[in-house]
Structure 1
């Protein structure tokens, strides 16, 4: 049986939503949710929510987490390198706050929802019109960090919504290509594993 050499840095789930009001304009809402089952910092959940991408140190740019050392590591070494977040002023002075609970509802054939409660707010993220899942392997040269092999199962969503305390956040997903597959900037990412050769 083949096995990957190297070290599994982390494994889990990492669905996201990168939303725009104008397809040719900047992102106006960025959400990346991590559910980690294996890492050097143990298990944990983290929701990176950037509501003001062009503003550094704004209170609306927050990471809700139940494992802050894990969340800080994920953001410094991984999320900060993701295309939509890389170089974004909001990643400087990001606020960290406690996460009380996470609830998952729905399924990947219709509507899938992650609801995160923490810091006195409830954030709900829903992916709809979910496409056919596909598995991929990104070699080191093409992974976001440039240091890892990344394995994952992806499914794009034709529609997505995000709310804070029932109030919708701006923007909607736009089409994009991933290794020759048409998806959008709202996607599910399961069985995600980052391997350091």
Structure 2
């Protein structure tokens, strides 16, 4: 077997769990969440959660155990959209995980006054998604990840459950979901 290496520069590797909930298929998002568990980046390892939901009164919130990682993500990867504003306050939080891809996966985010739980379940067949470096003219970075789509997902803040649910969506030729796990996610920059 021939060994190959990727000539591009590794910028990040870790996980990026995602949750986009809607009350009806194609309707407005009631919750949008990106939960990052970063193992390697120029800003070091850490956890970051970007959140906007009915349980936050549609206000964007950022939770992290590394402010430097938040700002680096906003400069390099989360560079557009509602989570890219670098003036948004960062709430210091503790992060933990339990479960697996066989039954359920729960991420817990805790602050001095908030307890947030995100749970994914009813997983469908995982697949690898690859976005080659330079394939998007608006972004030089490329990435790859193992997607584990979830048919059910729930987010709660201090016991209040967010409205909405995930819906099926296509990713090229594979059935996916608006909520799931993105494991072994690696971002690359051209050298």
Q: TM-score if structure 2 supplies the norm length?
A: 0.88
Are 1:102 and 2:95 counterparts?
A: yes
Are 1:75 and 2:74 counterparts?
A: yes
Within-5 A mapping of 1:21-100: 21-51=23-53, 60-81=59-80, 86=81, 88=82, 92=85, 94-99=88-93
CA separation in 2, counterparts of 1:145 and 1:78?
A: 12
Count of residues paired in the alignment: 186
Farther-moved stretch of structure 1 (71-80 vs 181-190): 71-80
| CA RMSD across the alignment | 2.3
Aligned residues of 1:97 and 1:119 also touching (Cα < 8 A): no
Task: Give the alignment partner of residue 164 of structure 2, picking from 171, 176, 184.
Answer: 171
Unaligned runs of 5+ in 2: none
Unaligned runs of 5+ in 1: none
Are 1:14 and 2:16 counterparts?
A: yes
Deviating 4+ runs (over 6 angstroms): none
Instruction: Spell out, residue by residue over 1:17-52, the C-alpha distance to the aligned partner (whole angstroms, 9 max, x if none).
Output: 011112222111111100101111011100111126
CA separation in 1, counterparts of 2:78 and 2:44?
A: 18
Within-5 A mapping of 1:134-173: 134-142=127-135, 146-173=139-166
